[in-house]
Amino acid sequence: MTLLSAMDISTSGLSAEKLRMEIIAQNIANIETTKTNGGGPYRRKVTVFKEVLQQNIQEDSGSNFAGQGVEVDKIVADKADPIMVYDPGHPDANKDGFVAKPNINLADEMVDSISASRAYAANVTVLNATKSLAIKALTIGRG
């Protein structure tokens, strides 16, 4: 366990939050998408985070802490039904005149994006603190 490993842990947090932010951007960009390769409207994507623990902990490694940060376990589609909007002139409207729009709530996405950006900032703060510790450690013996 070193200060550099603490930096790697913070980096894993940065990558995960960045990917989450990308998925949010993807969701907002596709808020009106009614056509997809799989057919039907675009479905909201959700990132699922998972804690990373060291796989093979050696008994005599002198450390009982196995935390190695976070990773994006999977990106899954939101199961909620599409929002039906009455728009008979739309080319994708069904016989009753309803169009299936993506199941995205803009307010939810904005709140998620704030959460992702704050968590990203928190990881940067930890990274900077770790860096200052590491740099300070390099001054051992110079004083």
Interface contacts to another protein, rule CB under 8 A: 1-3, 5-7, 9-10, 12-13, 16-17, 20, 48-51, 59-60, 62-65, 67-70, 115-116, 119, 122-123, 125-127, 129-130, 132-133, 136-137, 139-143
* Cα four-point dihedral sign 86, 90, 91, 96: positive
Residue 59 or 96 having the CB closest to another protein: 59
Closest CA to 68 of 128, 6, 15: 6
Q: Cα 96 to chain center, whole Å? A: 38
* Shortest spacing between CB 44 and another protein, in angstroms: 17
* Shortest spacing between CB 79 and another protein, in angstroms: 16
